[in-house]
Amino acid sequence: MSAKYILFFFLSLHVVSTVGQTAEWKAIHKGNRAFEKKDYAGSELNYMKALKHGSFSSTTLFNLGNVQLGKGNAQAALDYYEKAKHAAPVDTMLYSMVNHNQGYVYHASAMAQTQESERQQSLRKAITHYKQALRLNPTDDNTRYNLALCQKLLKDSQEQTKKQNEQNTPQQQLESQAQQEQQSSETKKDEKQTQQLLNLAKQAEKRARERVDKAIKNRRPKNLEKNW
């Protein structure tokens, strides 16, 4: 796979702007600075402090999702992103970023899949989220790039599956035919062995009867009549 088909973008953080530097605002910005240094424990601690206030809960939940993604906890990241969608107030730009990152998670998951069916399922989910992100923010080139990339990867995967099915079908037929021939050969062999045993049994029975007949003949009384 070409390198250009492996690169995709993760949108990190969402910065809030407010007139007064409240405790929540300060906690979010401290969390952002820690995140940029990849201090995920520090950023998570500050975001959790900000979350207690709740004024910017959608932003904080989104950023917590990014922390989990940075830590490699994809499912936890998805959970936070989904919570961010349902938190108030509604923020179109933030919702676009949430969908982009949800798409990113499924996109990355698809790249790690070894089964084409599972890869295609993850790619379809990624495409759905990227499309939703673009509806909310049509000017996002990163999302547009990722969407095009996923569509390309999905098409390639589907073509690969089709080729495998075309190749596997005759192979499966050959294997089935070979198995049937083997079973038929074994059946004929068993029948032949059975017939041989029956023949041997008949021969043994014949010899036994001959011996019995001979013994009976030898035991007959001698004729005492004389020819005068």
Give the pLDDT confidence of 63-80 residue by residue, as tens digits: 999 999 999 999 999 999
Residue 72 to residue 40: CA distance in whole angstroms: 11
Of 24, 102, 98, nearest in space to 58 by CA: 98
Query: What per-residue confidence (pLDDT) applies to 208?
Result: 61
pTM over 0.85: no
Comparison of pLDDT for 192 and 183, the residue scoring more:
192
C-alpha 84/C-alpha 87 separation (Å) is: 5
Q: Residue 19 above 60 pLDDT?
A: no
How far are the Cα atoms of 13, 133, 149 from residue 126, in angstroms, in the given order? Answer: 20, 11, 10
Listed in sequence order, the residues at least 6 apart from 88 whose beta carbon sits closer than 8 Å to its beta carbon are: 57, 58
- Tell me which of 53-57, 155-159, 160-164, 212-216 is least confident: 212-216
pLDDT at 173: 53
* Architecture of the domain delimited by 3-163: Alpha Horseshoe (1.25)
Tokens 């796979």 sit on residue: 1
Q: Where are the alpha helices (DSSP H) in 113-140?
A: 116-136
Burial of 10 (0-12, 13-18, 19+ CB in 10 A): middle
Q: State the Cα–Cα distance between residues 134 and 131, nearest whole angstrom.
A: 5
